[in-house]
Structure 1
């Protein structure tokens, strides 16, 4: 570097240069010597762990040589890498961090134009500016990062190991694992408790373990079978265990022990003897055996399914149970094929159903099993119930004497075939007699065998039975022939009804497919006619079967009753919904109708025309009022939705699938969906009005209908029975509240305050339900007081307590029975879909607050 051509003042660079030089020393030492101190740290750790354990000399020499080689290699790396930093290096680093390189410029000389005054003046101005910039010079931080040279951070690993060694040991004396044995740990523990005792009850009890060191009481009650664990610390023999709860007797010559594991079997004492004594009095609580009791008598469904209710209990819960069915031979009517001695049959063993959820300490369940095909079906049997708990204790025997339920056959030939099948399974000695009877049955099949397949099946069974007699009837042949007779009997019994049901299901499937595919009106009409004919045929067959088995149907008493007029009304409603384009509702109603057809009992005559008591008439009127109020509330809610989406066409805003007709759910806004009186009937052509007409008069129409509904409620209150009774007065008070809420809803609708109207309508429906519930109790009280006329009154109440679809009314005044409404996969699926849709809409934050509040109230109700 040449001598500067001007005077320099580098005093501003003194301290920045010194500090930068110190940083350069640290930087170059770090980059050059990090392998060295890494090796040194690792060598120190190795010395601490290996040297303190008295290892063999070969291990020590190997560790020393490895450490020495590492140190030498790291020093060689440092000698090659390290360069001593100078003041020029520091100035150069400062200069590189400043704009314009002022240090270099200040030390530079003018190369050209030194004889030109103007050029010299410019050069001096430049030098002065660079000199001024030196005042802003600062020390440069060193670069201490070596991650590029040490990508695995070995330096930090070595440092961590060194810190752990210094924190938990010593470089001059390292503890060995031998110090952790009884000497070291025992002396450490001796400063605290000298013993530890646990009692752990069996897992099935669900009780927590007991740590006796922290238990203050000395008298304890624990379940039998608990695990007792004892640990004694200190010098062996200073502390001893004495216990009488396990029944184990230690030999006198046995060596002292410091650990014990015993089972609590009986009452006794646990005592620690020696320098530190303690004692506990233990009471061993026995596990009580489980208890099982049979409920009502064994019942049988129409398909032969057996139902046996039972209850079971145990102090810690029942684990499993069985029902063993054995033949009560002494009670069998030994006639015909049962005269001979029966062949040995194994008892029937069934697993008792256990609760899927909840506790098993005390529960009630029902054993359901279909044993119609068993040889003992229809014969007296003994059913022994037993349950076991987790400790394998068995309950006391509980027996039920009953006739083993089986399927009833009403077709004469089918009954005869089943009887011969029973005789064959009873004993093979009946084969000759069975063959003769079957040949007699099939001698002239005309008029007796409506099914040709059933006739051929019986003939084949006769042939195989006679062949088997010649060569010996094996178990396989016996079972095969019995199955053939069962198949023939079921064909004869179910053939007519099954064919009619199959045709009905086929017609329903074709109609469902047509609705999904958007079939034409003509095709829909043809399919509806086919469904009507198939339904009529099925009802005729069902009626015939019902007459043949009238006693059996009456014994069940749970079948639905429905008349021809009611079925036709449902068909007409389905057709109307399809014509209006409400395919989803039509499909739901069709599924409900099919479910009813499968389970109903046809009631001859029109029904519903008998005389009703005043209480029944009042109840029906309140039911209609509640239904109408629900419809008004739904329509008001649709209008509220459309107020926040004025651009929607005919109510087609998000989540509301239409207002008047094609895409709506429930009643239409114009009032056609319910019973609304003459003034609403005149407005029933709302589907053909323009949107402006619909929107302009809808609120006023709803208010008028609300007023008409309030007037109808007033009329019903005047004829309300039960006056003077607590239940009747409570019903009147609830209906008064409903009327007041209806008045508030009417005023809100007239003032275009739909949100307030919805709240009032909800209060009205709740009050109506309370009134109907109280009225139902009042009617029941009157019926109990008038038991002298029980026959006629019960007959009328039985019919009038059903809705038009034959379902029982709920006790809270709701329409229909919850049990019937929730039966069937379609109804349950539809309920889940509706609830999911309500939850989805209530969670959408972009919906108006009023609408979300209404949806949340719906979720609270259901």
Structure 2
């Protein structure tokens, strides 16, 4: 058999490159396994030098680390040389042959042992050789196995690699130069004494460090509190440091002629001079940038909700950023009206200290935040207090605002009895000496309970509180008993204010009474908004209850309607408009008119009767929602048309005036205000604007009026979204999503109108209209599903006559009150596509001013109806 080391070249020629690559891979594999400790030590040393760790410790530590690194490097090199064994070609050939089926390389190099003279054996051997050589062509170089996990169970090589990666990202190769000057030999001996210096600002300034060797200017601005680090190399005493920036007093025991220390660190506290005297020395004039104290002040008006949540805005500034703050609240005793239960000396109370909220993201150098807290249960609620703010920066400096006297916001009670209980609670918490007077007042309040209390529950609770208070007063009241009685009075006041109402009518009456008391006592705008929202919710609950009663007793309601001929038909939108009017009058301060409107609403609600809707009779909530969305869509279309004309006027001022003379001044541009009950569609709406886009009649610009109208339209859409039927169904949720997109688009259109960007406004308005159409389609599908499931229609106010409804041509719609026929038209998505095409065509024809006025009026009636 031929030697495998000296195998015939023609046999191994097809796999010579595979053998060579396998041999190189084996060499790399053995190098990695033998020398992985060596390159791990090298990586760690390079990482430490590039990160500049040698500049953060004394020279002695650097020398010790250097000796340790050299020792580790020598050991790793000796270990690698000892374990390294270079692979041979035969080993590579055997490894490659082991990956092939049948070991074809060895088979190709073999020779027959017997049968050399037998022709049959020779033929068989030749066929075997050809098969093995053909199989050799399938050989692929064997990849090296670089895994050394068995030799490195703690993965120290990955730690070294991670350290080098961090150094490459956050370090610098230039940092390695500083280690060359730390020895007494080499370049330092040839160049003589040298020095290095750094100026490191405080971390909270987020300013970069400065390498003093690179500073050639004679002056340098330094933040207050910066640290100067100097390292002197060479012969001791050849270099000397003098400075007047640290304010350090000289040590009397120190010899003034002694050489300066080779490593110096000090903090810059004042402006002065820093000089390095000697060969290669340098001096600088350091100007300290002072770290100013933070400032804080109250910003804006203090607001409080009906529930008593106080919103106290404040503004804080600092040159490098505020890190914390505190609000201190103490009783302003000299400002308190010392009457009734406040005549006695108050019991000492701890000052209220609250942490100020800080911005979660963004800069803290200048910001405005709002402190939100509820002080309703505190004894100082609604009494004058002194509030002061204090903030601190990272340097520990503090800044405080001038104390201000404000009434501590707290919950307001509009029920007279609840307000009286809260007043006595405050007197009891003011001083326990008032307990006897509080007991007498509570006894007087409960003298005739039938005239005051709505039920026996709050009266019995008040009697229990009164008896316990009398017992505590006799035995001497403790602080715990004082808090117990105060908590019981607070809970009773809440019960009287909120009520434990199981009936929708009682809840409605309670909401009306509280709103009436708020008018008398002068409530804030936020309290008015919350009370009006409570009234709206109570009204909705009451109407739902009436609707259920009407469905349960339809015959009785029909008889009452037949007997009472003086009925007025009102929809839910009419009630909403009345409540909006009441809120508007209250916000304008016209309390007398608001009280009269509230009285009328109370009278209407008390006399209201609801019956189950019949086909064509009145409007269900779904029909009201569809009608309201349709009106919103028409107003949005008119607003979009006006914005388009304004855009045309920007590019061609003369064209708009010509178009305005062609009959478009009669076109409606959306509602400028809500119509009064009883108005026909279109009344109370604004007409076309004057040509030229000049000033409006109210003194505002056209752009401002368009933006305000867009905002009002968006507010109306939000109100309609709150009362949208079909909740919980797939189509109903799809309608809500579409209306949410319409709201976002209206918001974008309003912003664009305020910035005079009519092109962007038109795009946003187009998206809003498309979303509104989609929402109406989805809502229609949801209502159709409800009707198919046999759900009853929502009740309506009695008195409607379906026969009095008119079609767009002004004709009577018939006895059933329906428009159109019962014939089935297009089904599926095509019906919505066809309806959209017809609506677009009607709008297009409405904008053509050359059409006859009768046709334009007819088209406008179609748009108003559909």
Residue 455 of structure 1: aligned partner: 459
Where does residue 822 of structure 2 map in the other structure?
none
Counting only pairs closer than 5 Å after superposition, residues 1-80 of structure 1 correspond to structure 2 as 17=8
Q: 1:713 to 1:571 in 2, by over 3 A?
A: farther
Is it true that 1:442 corresponds to 2:446 in the alignment? yes
Q: 1:341-356, aligned counterparts within 5 Å?
A: 341-356=345-360
C-alpha deviations, 1:434-453, integer Å up to 9, x for none?
A: 22222222233222122433
Q: TM (normalized to structure 1)?
A: 0.51
Partner of 2:434: 430
In the alignment, what sits opposite 2:238? Answer: 238
Pairs within 5 Å for 1:108-507? 110=119, 182-183=182-183, 187=187, 194-249=194-249, 251=251, 252-253=254-255, 256-495=260-499, 499=501
Query: Does the 8 Å contact 1:318/1:390 carry over to 2?
Result: yes
- Provide the C-alpha distance between the structure 1 equivalents of 2:696 and 2:290, rounded to a whole number of angstroms: 52
Partner of 1:778: 696
Relative to 1, partners in 2 of residues 1:357 and 1:376: Cα closer, same or farther, differing over 3 Å?
same
Summarize the alignment of residues 695-774 of structure 1 with structure 2, pairs less than 5 Å apart. 736=656
Cα distance in 2 for residues equivalent to 1:822 and 1:228: 65
Spell out, residue by residue over 1:587-637, the C-alpha distance to the aligned partner (whole angstroms, 9 max, x if none): xx99xx9xx99x978967889xxxxxxxxxxxxxxxxxxxxxxxxxxxxxx
Residue 544 and residue 194 in structure 1: after superposition, are their counterparts in 2 closer, same or farther (change >3 A)? same
Is the 1:309–1:365 contact (alpha carbons within 8 Å) kept by the matching residues of 2?
yes
In structure 2, what is the equivalent of residue 550 of structure 1?
Answer: 519
CA 1:816–1:368 in structure 2 vs 1: closer, same or farther (change >3 Å)? farther
Instruction: Give the whole-Å Cα distance in 2 for the aligned partners of 1:386 and 1:18.
Output: 91
Aligned-pair CA distance for 1:356: 3.2
- Give the secondary structure class of the aligned counterpart of 1:443: coil
Structure 1 position 223, deviation (Å):
1.5
Confirm or deny: 8 A CA contact 1:19 1:139 kept in the other structure.
no
CA distance in 1, matches of 2:362, 2:304: 28
Residue deviations 1:668-689, cap 9 Å, x none?
Answer: 9xx9945999xxxxxxxxxxxx
Task: Sort the Cα spacing of 1:259 and 1:97 in 2 relative to 1 into closer, same or farther, 3 A.
Answer: same
Aligned to 2:710: 813
Distance 1:230 1:729, change over 3 A: same
Distance 1:272 1:546 in 2: 80
Q: Distance in 2 between matches of 1:830 and 1:192?
A: 83
Would you say the 8 A contact 1:186–1:233 is kept in 2?
A: no
Preserved CA contact (<8 Å) 1:732 1:771? no
How far off is 1:352 after superposition? 2.5
C-alpha deviation, 1:200, in angstroms: 1.8
> Deviation at 1:480?
0.5
Provide, for residues 809-839 of structure 1, a one-character-per-residue CA deviation record: whole Å limited to 9, x for no partner.
Answer: 9536333466994999999x9999559999x
Question: Residue 425 of structure 2 contacts residue 490 of structure 2 at CA under 8 Å; is this kept in 1?
Answer: yes
Task: Name the SS for the 1:398 alignment partner.
Answer: coil
Counterpart secondary structure, 1:378: coil
The answer to whether residue 510 in structure 2 is matched with residue 541 in structure 1 is: yes
**1:385-419, CA deviations, whole angstroms, 9 ceiling, x for partnerless residues?**
22222222222441211222222223332222112
Give the superposition deviation at 1:209.
Answer: 1.8
Tell me how far 1:479 sits from its aligned partner: 0.4
Give distance in 1, aligned partners of 2:539 and 2:717: 17
Change (3 A) 1:823 1:210: farther
Higher relative contact order (CA 8 A, sep 6+): 2
Q: What is the root-mean-square deviation in Å for CA atoms of aligned residues?
A: 7.1
Residues 269, 280 of structure 1: 8 Å contact kept: yes
* Aligned residue-pair number: 577
User: Could you say if the C-alpha distance between residues 111 and 390 of structure 1 is closer, same or farther in structure 2, counting changes exceeding 3 Å?
Assistant: closer
CA distance in 1, matches of 2:189, 2:736: 63
Contact 2:649 2:655 in 1 (8 A): no
Whether the 8 Å CA contact 1:16–1:139 is kept in 2: the answer is no
Inter-partner Cα distance in structure 2 for 1:824 and 1:198: 65
Take 1:193 and 1:826, find their aligned partners in 2: how far apart are those partners? 86
Change (3 A) 1:676 1:438: closer
